[in-house]
C-alpha cells in the first residue's frame, strides 16, 4: 500500500500504528498540515464485513450447540481475519493510495 501523503508525497507509513489505535477517517499530514482521509478499498470493507459475520455466526452456533469444534473454527476465523488484511495489502493493494485529499465544500 502506498502510505504517502497525496499533497506533499511525504511518507506516512510510520503513522500506521497511530491509525490503528485512533479510529478517525480524517487526519492532518504531519509534514504539510493538509487534511487527508483514509482511502479504504472495497475489498478491505468486504473482507472485514464477511469476517465479522462469520465470527458472529460461528460464535452463536458454538454457544448454542456447545460445540468445541465450532469454537475452534471460531478461533480459526479470527486468526484468518487478522491475517487477511495485511496479506491483501502486501499482494493486491500494493499501489493503492492509503490516503486521499479531503474535498473542501465550496460556498
pLDDT tens-digit map of 27-70: 778 788 888 888 889 999 999 999 999 999 999 999 999 999 99
Q: Binning pLDDT at 50, 70 and 90, where does residue 11 land? A: confident
Tell me the residue length of the chain: 107
Q: CB of 37 within 8 A of CB of 29? A: no
CA 27 to chain centre: 16
Amino acid at each position: 500500500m502506498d502510505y504517502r501523503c497525496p499533497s506533499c508525497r511525504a511518507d506516512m507509513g510510520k503513522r500506521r500504528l497511530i491509525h490503528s489505535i485512533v479510529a478517525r477517517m480524517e487526519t492532518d499530514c504531519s509534514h504539510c498540515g493538509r487534511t487527508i482521509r483514509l482511502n479504504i478499498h472495497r475489498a478491505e470493507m468486504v473482507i472485514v464485513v464477511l469476517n465479522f459475520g462469520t465470527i458472529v455466526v460461528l460464535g452463536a452456533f458454538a454457544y448454542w450447540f456447545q460445540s468445541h469444534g465450532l469454537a475452534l473454527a471460531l478461533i480459526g476465523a479470527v486468526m484468518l481475519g487478522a491475517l487477511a488484511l495485511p496479506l491483501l495489502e502486501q499482494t493486491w493493494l500494493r499501489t493503492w493510495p492509503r490516503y486521499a485529499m479531503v474535498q473542501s465544500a465550496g460556498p
